[in-house]
Amino acid sequence: MEATHSAVQREPWNKGKIVGQKAPFKVKDIWALRVRLQMEHRVRELALFNLGIDSKLRGCDLVGLKVRDICHGDQVAARAVVMQHKTQRPVQFEITPVTRDAVQKWIKQAGRKPEDFLFPSRVHASPHLGTRQYSRILEGWVEELGLDPAEYGTHSMRRTKATLIYRRTKNLRAVQLLLGHAKLESTVRYLGIEVDDALEISEQTEI
């Protein structure tokens, strides 16, 4: 029994990695990458990037999307509701025109049907893009932008729009709903804002 336990010991996934809160992308970085992906006709990546920014979904939820999750008939919807794997709570998000256009082109090019996964894997054993594959794709984007891969990860995609919305509105409750967090404290930690600032905002918005 002891031999079995020692045989299955695995190296920690984060060994040698810098672990911590990942930086959100800046608006200039978002547009720089969009232009690059468009000019190089990287249709799948453009759809994945735009939808990742708009949806604010965790990586596991983003790669697990099916065409029917975001489409009404043969058109990409302006809004979608997805059940989160981690919390089993539904979360709603807007799909902007830029993203709808990119995703529509990808669905047409790839011949995806309503019951298909939106982003199929190129590995035969997996029905859809895996979180590790997604992470590698994102790392490539970060390097193309000349940014430090140690500072960015898949959660950078999830944090980007949420951070922009918070900076513009200071509305923690709205961001909490958009991220699908059960507790406001989780949103405070996720945005990396000071607790004192959060309490002050909450007091100012009390009814």
- The yes-or-no verdict on residue 62 having pLDDT over 80 is yes
pLDDT in tens, 143-176: 999 999 999 999 899 889 888 888 888 888 888 8
Instruction: Compute CA 182 distance to the chain's CA centroid, rounded to the nearest angstrom.
Output: 18
Burial of 181 (0-12, 13-18, 19+ CB in 10 A): buried
pLDDT top residue among 21 and 29: 29
Domain count, the chain: 1
pLDDT at 9: 52
**Cα separation of 105 and 164, whole Å?**
27
Domain assignment present for residue 161? The answer is: no
How many whole angstroms separate alpha carbon 21 and alpha carbon 162?
14
| pLDDT value of position 187 | 81
- Decide if 102 is inside a domain: yes
Question: 195 in a domain, yes or no?
Answer: no
CATH of the domain at 55: 1.10.443.10
- Specify burial of residue 81 (Cβ count, 10 A radius: 0-12, 13-18, 19+): exposed
Tell me phi and psi for residue 136, to 5 degrees.
-65, -40
**54 has pLDDT over 60:** yes
Average pLDDT across the chain, whole number: 84
pLDDT above 70 for 13: no
Q: Is position 76 within any domain?
A: yes
3-32 average pLDDT score: 63
Alpha carbon distance 162, 56 (integer Å): 7
**Residue 93 resides in a domain:** yes
| Tens digits of residue pLDDT in 120-131 | 987 766 789 999
pLDDT score, position 28? 95
What pLDDT score was predicted for residue 159?
A: 87
Asked if residue 186 belongs to a domain, the reply is no
Residue 89 lies in a domain: yes
Domain residue limits at 125: 27-152
pLDDT at 85 over 60: yes
